[in-house]
Structure 1
Amino acid sequence: MQLARLVETVQRVRATTKKSEKIRLLAECLGQVNGREAVLAALYLTGSLPQGKIGIGWSVIQKAMHDAPASGEPLMLSDVDRLMDVLAAERGAGSMDRRILALSNLFSRANPQERTFLSQLLIGEVRQGALEAVLLDAIAAAAGLPAAEVRQAFMFAPNIGDLAQAALEEQSAGLARFSMRLFVPVAPMLANSAEDVDEALQRLDRAVFEYKLDGARVQVHKGGDDVRVFTRQLQDITGRLPEIVEWARNLPVREAVLDGEAIALRPDGRPQPFQTTMRRLGRIKDVAAMRESIPLSPFAFDALYLDGSSLLTQSYEERLRALATMTPAELIPHVVTSQPEEARRFLAQSLAAGHEGVMAKSPTAPYVAGQRGYHWLKLKEATSLDLVILAAEWGNGRREGWLSNLHLGARDPSSGHFVMLGKTFKGLTDEMLRQQTEQLLSLETHREEHTVFVKHQMVVEIAFSDIQESPRYPAGLALRFARVKRYRPDKTPDQADTIQTVSELFRAQRN
């Protein structure tokens, strides 16, 4: 397939707000590829490279960019793939100049629209509204398969490109290769926010309320004495958490996959700050010494697999019963109720114990990996949102020399963009200013006067008093008295809160 055909699809998808039309356009495009091209098309449409991040920044792109018309043979997807292999492999003395030359040769064959798309692809900024959920439906349509079957297989596929190739070439037989397996991590099920207990019960009717621990989400795989521990981003961190490995080895089952939290606790059992727990996850060296100073405790809240059988399609109550037979001591405290007063007492109990709040979960829901829905709801004492840093301004006074005033955005699933909700520098310590300045400069895309715009990669938790109408921002909403609560290195931008969540919170506070 010519790159121009894919870029045309991206432009047409951007131009429509109708989900059904997006799916139709994407399915038409996918229907024209096979083999390696199917892998490339699916990945490129979601803004990903099979080579992963290859370290090309905006400055390199600017040096390689052309203004002249395209020349030579039209670019094919395979041409782009070969060039990305070259860029990813370049190392050593003179590698930067060689990267610029190779990229310049690629741009010379591209038209202006293709150059823009390639630039966005290289720095991870393709925002065409073809989010994974939409593309999964398009893959199903192109392959003539039920969408539910494709989504189920995606839980276990290495990436959406491999899934697309299998579905398009082999249909159901190809998807059958992607299933629950030990030591292959599953994308975690995600939660939406609820304003209070009444909203949670209105949505769920009857719910499992459990403590919301402010720890690190971990997925633990056990097969005999072999244990693997994965983060919510599916990174293997087994070597960093020996106490979690020892705990899993002693579980009274042969095989299991558990979802839960690892958290640092004070001697009195109250939780340490989130950053303390995250220090353990980030430490690769001197693990034994760190374990002595910051021991982690495991808590489980879900069972996904038990002795050869997947539990994903079972109800949450059934999975909890299976979990209780394995980890009665490490089960997160919970109560099942439809009574608001009982739920509020439980929330107060969780807050008194030093935790963030509670989760409210549908007792009948299956485990829907990688998706954020209303089967799981989070209720916190203070209202907060996980937002993405879009840009930052240089500070003055005490903050002079540091990037401090953060531009904050919520995710818009319909367009793939981030919608700005305001700015804040409140809550930032000197150490946070130093750390974020270094990180944001490494993510810089361009500058406008005293503002540095960055790749949309950093997620921060923002606490605020309320939401108000504001004509200054695209959604007409702004956060009032916003302050940085903490960084969220455990979350990716596609796990940030949505503008729809912000709008619902705004409507709720007005009622």
Structure 2
Amino acid sequence: MLFKPLNPMLPVWCDAPFDDDAYVFEPKWDGVRMLLHKQGPRIEAYTRSGLRVTNLFPELAEAAQSIRAHTAILDCEGVCVRGERPVFDDIMHRLRLGRADTIKQALHSHPAAWIAFDVLLTSDGEHGHEPLLERKRRLDELLEPSPALLKTVTLENQGNALFELTARQRMEGIIAKRKHSVYRLHARSSDWLKIKHAQTIDAAILGYRNHPFQLMLGLQFRTVKNKFVGTVQDGLEAEHREWIIERICQDSIRQEGDTHWVKPRLCCRVEYKDRSDTHQLRHTRFVSFLPEKRAEDCVWTYGLQ
């Protein structure tokens, strides 16, 4: 188990926050899931896909000093904080670095830290079979918090209040966890629930599909123009289809199966609740067309999504 890639336990979706004595609630940190493995002075960081990224984060040396146990595996979120909140694009920037000089520069421009929320292993043995509250107790004893390694906030029976607080702080949302849940590696479990705030974004319309009717969405990035970032179907009515088809049919570029690609001339506003590491929007819902907005102005705003 130690110093081997592990697939961490994952939550399932939940549509709305709730209060329940059977759960604890934590903020959902907008970063990258990492497992920290420590034995003596050695510390390694692995992403949820099993990639070892230790050499990208010199801050891990300080994080290791915060772990009192000789041996430990901690489940954490790697974050880069800007303006008192984590910024997903900043931690992704850190993961893309390779040269020693750029990594050294990023220590000051994009400093990283880890938020610990679970413990899988200590010098006493493996702990995944223990209930969550017992693992939380072990985590309290294990950590000496520092700027590089902190313990997450955990509240009992206050899911609605924490959800409102994370909305005000422009965070992703919250995680609800059953107090007696065990830790299941390589699994997605309904014992853990993720509840996210909807966000809105203005996207260029790159095309459409007919069966069912969907709009193809695009955004402008620093290095890629009109990058495809997903589709939207929910919220679209028959009158929306008629309105958009009438205006973009003359802009056709090509057809691939049931997908009609067009010149990006019109825009729309959509809600989304999630996005991938490559900025693919998920759980989307159509809000409105934006006939006065230009496609080139539909930009991914780094650090504000």
TM-score by length of 2: 0.69
Aligned residue number for residue 62 of structure 2: 246
| Native 8 Å contact 1:227 1:249 kept in 2 | no
Give the direction of change, closer, same or farther, for the CA distance of 1:284–1:404 in structure 2 (3 Å limit).
Answer: farther
Shift of 1:368: 1.1
TM-aligned CA distance change 1:306 to 1:406, over 3 Å: farther
- Aligned partners of 1:424 and 1:238: how far apart in 2? 38
Q: Which residue of 2 aligns with 1:220?
A: 36
* CA–CA separation in structure 2 for the residues paired with 1:468 and 1:326: 51
Amino acid at match of 1:269: E
1:429 is the counterpart of 2:212 = no
Deviation at 1:435, TM superposition (A): 8.4
Q: RCO greater where, 1 or 2, for CA within 8 Å and sep 6 or more?
A: 2
Q: 2:5 maps to which residue? A: 185
Q: In structure 2, do the counterparts of structure 1 residues 245 and 488 end up closer, same or farther at CA, with 3 Å as the change threshold? A: farther
Counterpart secondary structure, 1:425: strand
How do residues 150-229 of structure 1 correspond to structure 2 at under 5 angstroms?
A: 181-198=1-18, 201=20, 206-229=22-45
Matched with 2:131 is 315
Does the 8 A contact of 2:216 with 2:230 survive in 1?
no
Shift of 1:354: 2.8
Is the Cα contact below 8 Å between 1:383 and 1:465 reproduced in 2?
no
- 8 Å CA contact 1:196–1:379 kept in 2: the answer is yes
Residues 424 and 483, structure 1, Cα contact 8 Å, conserved in 2: no
Larger helix proportion, structure 1 or 2?
1
CA contact (8 A) 2:198 2:273 kept: no
1:237 equivalent among 48, 53, 69: 53
Distance between the aligned counterparts of 1:223 and 1:193, measured in 2?
A: 35
1:429–1:225 CA distance, 2 compared to 1 (3 A)? same
Distance 1:404 1:240, change over 3 A: farther
- Counterpart of 1:264, as a letter, is C
Distance apart, 1:249 and its partner CA: 3.8
Aligned length: 247
CA RMSD of aligned residues (A): 3.6
Residue 436 of structure 1, CA deviation: 4.2
State the partner residue of 1:375. Answer: 191
Structure 2 gaps, min length 5: 242-267, 286-305
Over 3 Å counting, the alpha-carbon distance change for 1:432 and 1:424 in structure 2 is farther
User: For residue 335 of structure 1, what is the aligned residue in structure 2?
Assistant: 155
**Higher strand proportion (structure 1 or 2):** 2
Instruction: Report if the CA contact (8 A) 1:238-1:245 is conserved.
Output: no
* Structure-1-length-normalised TM-score: 0.43
Kept in 1, the 8 Å contact 2:198–2:272? The answer is no
Alpha-carbon spacing, 1:468–1:406, altered in 2? closer, same or farther (3 Å): closer
Q: How big is the shift at 1:489?
A: 2.9
Task: State whether residues 211 and 350 of structure 1, in contact with CA within 8 Å, keep that contact through their aligned partners in structure 2.
Answer: yes
Shift of 1:307: 0.8
Q: 169, 177, 183: which is aligned to 1:353?
A: 169
Aligned-residue offset at 1:421: 8.1
Give the secondary-structure state (helix, strand or coil) at the position aligned to 1:219: strand
